[in-house]
Amino acid sequence: MNKSKFVIEGLGRKKALSGTIAVRGAKNAILKALAASILFEDEVEFKNVPEIEDVRRMRELLVGLKQNPELHRDIAERLRASIVLTGPVLARYGEVTFPFPGGCVLGERPIDLFLDGYRAMGAEIVENDGLFIIKGKLRGAHIFFPFVSVTATETLMLAATLAEGRTILENAAMEPEIDSLAGYLNTCGAHIDGAGTPTLKIEGGGILRANGRPYITPPDRIETGSFLILAALAGHDVKIVDCEPKHSAALLSLLARAGIKFEIGESSISLRQGLTLPQAVSVRTHEYPGFPTDLQATMAVFLTQAEGEATILETIFDGRFRYAEDLARMGADIEVLNPHKVRIRGPRALSAQELEGPDLRAGLAYILAATVAEGTSVVNNAYIIDRGYLAIEERLSKLGLNIKREQI
């Protein structure tokens, strides 16, 4: 692996960024769509694919699966989305072997919902030497998820597509990436009803055919949101293009409440800043369409620069405040009240530091923190950011940020 870091010259309180920045295809959509290619008899073409590290890992896993229905252990142990492959592989080949999936450390990330789902669909599970071996011909089942899970919804939806009979998934996740995938699969012969609502009904059937129809990756709403927050913090005239504004409704409503002014176009959002300080707004993360946990760390950076006191309540994960200590080192007034709640008082001037993001999204939040800090910061471990954001330094440079990648 090529080791690199980002060096960022902070702007302090100057609102210096301007220009246009384009949003790329959504990581958490393309990873699942690639996994779904297992359900097809013919080739599937993918468009608007971000060439990020996680997409490369998923491709490597798919290549490995051509030999046998077993996920490459080292890769799967580093990529949470690898679990999504288990549904289509099991449904198509009647068996799958995989390790406990890795990915960003955000607290507990169990896989009980997947295993319960496979059992309900008639599969047998054996755990041996850290590997799960699942076998069986899948049949439709009525599954109620005790918690809302994005990847469990996607995985069982994909498994059900080739299972025999009808599957009902209740308390399903409603993320737009699920809707995008179901819509595409339906054009290729699947029968999935209710994507984007809490109840999915899937009539299982035969193998799917793309017949030359491409999957078009929808815009990344987390990237959109991160750019919006960056523009609110340090921009004076920034336009975010190639995005889907309605997927950012929760963030936009909070930014509006904070006093940020923006204009919404069909596939763009423009921010024009006045000189007034944004006001602190409290945040509660929630499954879509609520405020995304993946924007929680970036929003914390925003709140360090807003006037007043606010809390962030993290309801999805129980280990997602690992960034708080680093922001405090930079001068933020941030206190972790418990594993689900932080309190932030602002505005506070931040000073440059050497940083290393504890996870992908916090990594990007550090780039934002470094942008509003005084002085030159270093954000180590660029790889963790490259997992989800394509050539971020090139894109942010175009807005006028002095950010460089340096090899270590």
Q: Which residues bind ligand EPU (CB under 6 A)?
A: 27-28, 31, 80-81, 104, 108-114, 147, 149-152, 293-294, 316-317, 360-361, 388
| Contact in structure between 396 and 22 (CB atoms under 8 Å) | no
Amino acid code (one letter) for 284: R
- Judged by beta carbon, residue 238 or residue 254, the one nearer ligand EPU is 254
Residue 334 neighbours by CB under 8 Å, 6+ apart = 300, 304, 324, 327, 328, 342, 343, 344
Does 211 carry a binding-site annotation?
no
Does 110 carry a binding-site annotation?
yes
- Judged by beta carbon, residue 114 or residue 366, the one nearer ligand EPU is 114
Alpha-carbon distance of 284 to 182, in angstroms, equals 28
HEC letters along 302-314? HHHCCEEEEEEEC
Minimum CB distance to ligand EPU, residue 28 (Å): 4
Does 220 carry a binding-site annotation?
no
Task: Give the three-state DSSP class for 80.
Answer: helix
Does 111 carry a binding-site annotation?
yes
| Contact in structure between 269 and 262 (CB atoms under 8 Å) | yes
Does 269 carry a binding-site annotation?
no
Does 48 carry a binding-site annotation?
no
Minimum CB distance to ligand EPU, residue 319 (Å): 10
CA 335 distance to own-chain centroid: 25
- Residue 317 main-chain phi, psi, to 5 deg: -115, 160
Residues 104, 299, 324, 379: which is the catalytic one?
104
Question: Beta strands 235-241 and 17-22: pairing type?
Answer: parallel
- Judged by beta carbon, residue 18 or residue 217, the one nearer ligand EPU is 217
Does 294 carry a binding-site annotation?
yes
- Judged by beta carbon, residue 111 or residue 324, the one nearer ligand EPU is 111
Minimum CB distance to ligand EPU, residue 338 (Å): 16
- Judged by beta carbon, residue 31 or residue 344, the one nearer ligand EPU is 31
- Judged by beta carbon, residue 72 or residue 80, the one nearer ligand EPU is 80
Minimum CB distance to ligand EPU, residue 79 (Å): 8
The answer to whether 104 is a known catalytic residue is yes
Does 318 carry a binding-site annotation?
no
| Contact in structure between 107 and 318 (CB atoms under 8 Å) | yes
Residue 264 neighbours by CB under 8 Å, 6+ apart = 245, 252
Question: Beta strands 283-284 and 308-313: pairing type?
Answer: parallel
Residue carrying structure tokens 């129980």 = 318
Minimum CB distance to ligand EPU, residue 81 (Å): 4
Minimum CB distance to ligand EPU, residue 240 (Å): 19
Alpha-carbon distance of 15 to 38, in angstroms, equals 47
| Contact in structure between 351 and 322 (CB atoms under 8 Å) | no
DSSP-assigned states of every residue in 242-273: S--GGGGHHHHHHHHHHT--EEE-SSEEEEE-
| Contact in structure between 35 and 88 (CB atoms under 8 Å) | yes
Indicate the annotated binding residues.
27-28, 80, 109-113, 294, 316
Indicate the annotated binding residues for phosphoenolpyruvate.
27-28
- Residues assigned a catalytic role: 104
Indicate the annotated binding residues for UDP-N-acetyl-alpha-D-glucosamine.
80, 109-113, 294, 316
